[in-house]
Structure 1
Amino acid sequence: MTQIVRRSTKYTNDVMAILKSKHHATNAEIAQELRNFHPEVSDTTVHRITQRLCGDGMIGLAPSTQKGCLRYDIRKGCSRSFCV
């Protein structure tokens, strides 16, 4: 089985740091925090990063918000079927 090696970007590293400090957050919360350091980052970029990290098992899904928004958690073990 071939292991995929992905390069680490400043955005990816900062998303991981944000999740470590907040424990769980929505994409909107991550984007808001990330823009303190990278005002140019788009919502789409944040979405792609969280989807990739979840698919790679680096982060997991936390319980959704009351409005049904997905929240990500620093815990590992995300099921790929939920990260679409």
Structure 2
Amino acid sequence: MRGSMNPDTLTQTASGTSSALLIPLLCLFLVLGLIQVVRPQLLWRANARLQKGWVKDPGATEPTGKGYAVQRITGVIFLAVATWMLVRAL
């Protein structure tokens, strides 16, 4: 079937010689995921600097405690997926 997708499409290039950038990129994703779990405020601060031209008061866009909790949960899921992809790529 021509339109079907292999379930390992995301990691398939790592087993070949076509992508030497995949493993360092996944390691970068792991670092970002760890930051999102441990200190999501750092990611917000980095993003707040980018908002200065778009938002009148970037400080007013800081997430609440629940918002940071959701970011941490998302970070755990992100770490799990990035770790799985890295293990499959090695």
Fold conserved between structures, TM > 0.5: no
Structure holding more strand per residue: 1
Q: Larger Cα Rg: Structure 1 or Structure 2?
A: 2
TM-score normalised by structure 2 residue count: 0.30
